[in-house]
Amino acid sequence: MPIHRLNHAVLYVRDATRSAAFYIEQLGFRRVGAYDSPAGVFLQAEGSTNDHDLALFTIGAAATESMAGRGEVGLYHLSWEVDTLADLARFAERLQAIGSLVGATNHGTTRSLYAKDPDGLEFELTWVVPAALLTGVDKPGIAPLDLPHEIERFGADTLGGVGISRPAPTV
């Protein structure tokens, strides 16, 4: 049986309530459950039907910063897919305003924002170029993201991932 998607992610954070507020207020997640001991919060992404997509568990204010990728092995980031470039632009503005946005990249087949949560854990927001719109210039790679240009090219409300991460409509 093949693996077909990530069901959920679990993060250890300094304060699950504080981190949950960030994911709710900035990314539109909703709270779907909690535990008192250890303190944990379960969140569901706005467009998800999964029972939860992200679990956050408190380990305390004395926890040190993750050194993953800087001399230690560990997870670099999680990536969540957004529906449209308009969504990506809205998140870019929101995350920039709070000082969370740390990068924006054109990966050829995707357009991505990189940001950090209150504990400095990095995440990615990704719009996937629909299969029917991929051209020879959309080769996998790393280049700066020019979001206004991408919106002009593909349209702000074009549904991403069609034929790649979501099924193409049947005729």
Domain coordinates in residue numbering, the chain: 1-60, 76-164
Tell me the chain's radius of gyration from C-alpha atoms. 17
Percent of the chain's residues with pLDDT above 70: 98
- Name the CA dihedral angle for 94, 75, 70, 146, rounded to a multiple of 10 degrees: -40
Give the DSSP H/E element, type plus range, for residue 123: strand 122-128
Whether pLDDT at 38 is above 80: no
Is domain 76-164 given the CATH code 3.30.720.110 in the classification?
yes
Three-state secondary structure readout of 26-58: HHCCEEEEEECCCCEEEEECCCCCCCCCEEEEE
Superfamily of domain 1-60: 2,3-Dihydroxybiphenyl 1,2-Dioxygenase, domain 1 (3.10.180.10)
- At 127-156, the pLDDT tens digits run 999 999 999 999 999 999 999 999 999 999
Q: What residues have CB less than 8 Å from 64, skipping those under 6 apart?
A: none
Q: Between 85-97 and 16-27, two packed helices, what is the crossing angle to 10 degrees?
A: 130
**What is the reported pTM?**
0.91
* Burial degree of 129 (CB within 10 A; 0-12, 13-18, 19+): buried
Percent of the chain with pLDDT over 90: 78
Tokens of 3: 């693996």
- Same fold for the pair 1-60 and 76-164: no
The DSSP bridge partners found for residue 41 are 34, 56
Each residue of 53-76: pLDDT tens digit?
999 999 999 999 888 888 889 888
Q: CA–CA separation, 121 vs 42, rounded Å? A: 17
